[in-house]
Structure 1
Amino acid sequence: MKHHQFNQLQILARIDLDYPHQVMPRRERLQRWAELLERDPQRVLSTLYETEHQPDAVRAALRGDNTAISVAFDDPVLRAAGLENDTYGEAKRFFELSDRQLHRIICYCHFGATVSAVTTASYIRARHVDRRDGILARLRAMFA
């Protein structure tokens, strides 16, 4: 086996820096997140303070120790699927959530300074995993 420097390898082959990201549909990512939270239902998680009042750039960079997002980031399966860090912006991107949707999961104004893991998991399941689409969404999916 011959060893090469990284810049030499780029000349010889196309290097995919995203490898080994596993393709995982949105619903499965959200389901996995809920399952991780349910593993320790009594765990007390921190919330993020007033996410809805922050400028976009500040909101995207928000993070905290022991939040629902950090629980997701601690999981090697979700990291392999592409979760890059434990910030609000990355959770929004990775789980394909709007600001309003993520705000309802993680913000201080809904739960106070802390929330139980099982409460967060239940909300994720009810709103994003087990939710049945309405007739308009099903029709749109049929014709799309």
Structure 2
Amino acid sequence: MKHHSIEQLQAFADIQPLSPYLPMTRTERLERWAQLLEDQPERRLGTLSGTEYAPRAERLAMRVPGSPITVAFEDPAFRAAGLEDDSYGAAKRFFELSDRQLHNIVCYCHFGDAVRGASAARRVRAAISMWTRIRAFFA
């Protein structure tokens, strides 16, 4: 076996550092999202209109610039962990939320055309506690 220094290897190999972000559990992802929202408690964030009535394909594609989902997508750790974009569908998959849970966080019918960061964070935290209660029930 022949040993080479990193400098020598870089001459004929593309060496990339490992991602500085560790994998996160569902709860850790939701906690981080809530914290990002709480870091800007007065920020007015756009809401998505009609998430409860839109056909599934249309609902999954919904997005509004500057929404609570956008706050998550702006985070490099979430993008590195696989958050694809700031659409409803990407958030639903990434945060492992039900339609009802995500509706409660981002829908126009709860807040009007904008929601404060602190209010959205409370809704995210409610999704965490609901998940914890459901897991405890089946444990």
* Shorter-chain TM-score range: 0.7 to 0.9
- Once the two structures are superposed, residues 14-61 of structure 1 have per-residue CA deviations (whole angstroms, 9 ceiling, x without a partner) of xxxxx8574210000000000000111010011001111111111111
Give the secondary structure class of the aligned counterpart of 1:51.
coil
Instruction: Select the residue among 125, 136, 139 that pairs with 1:138.
Output: 136
Q: Please, what TM-score do these two structures have when normalized by structure 1?
A: 0.78
Number of aligned residue pairs: 125
Q: Please, what TM-score do these two structures have when normalized by structure 2?
A: 0.81
Q: What's the % identity of the aligned pairs?
A: 50
Compute the displacement of 1:94 (Å): 0.4
Alignment check: 8 A CA contact 1:37 1:68 kept? yes
Give the secondary structure class of the aligned counterpart of 1:52.
coil
Compute the displacement of 1:140 (Å): 2.5
**Could you tell me which residue of structure 2 aligns to residue 122 of structure 1?**
122
Alignment check: 8 A CA contact 1:48 1:108 kept? yes
Q: Which amino acid aligns with 2:128?
A: V
The RMSD of aligned alpha carbons is: 2.1
Measure the CA separation in 2 of the matches of 1:132 and 1:61. 25
Measure the CA separation in 1 of the matches of 2:12 and 2:135. 55
Alignment check: 8 A CA contact 2:62 2:88 kept? yes
- Once the two structures are superposed, residues 75-119 of structure 1 have per-residue CA deviations (whole angstroms, 9 ceiling, x without a partner) of 001111211111000000000001111011100011111110100
Measure the CA separation in 2 of the matches of 1:51 and 1:122. 19
Alignment check: 8 A CA contact 1:22 1:80 kept? no
**Could you tell me which residue of structure 2 aligns to residue 67 of structure 1?**
67
Q: Which amino acid aligns with 2:110?
A: H
Q: Which amino acid aligns with 2:61?
A: A
> Please, which runs of 5 or more residues in structure 1 have no aligned partner?
5-18
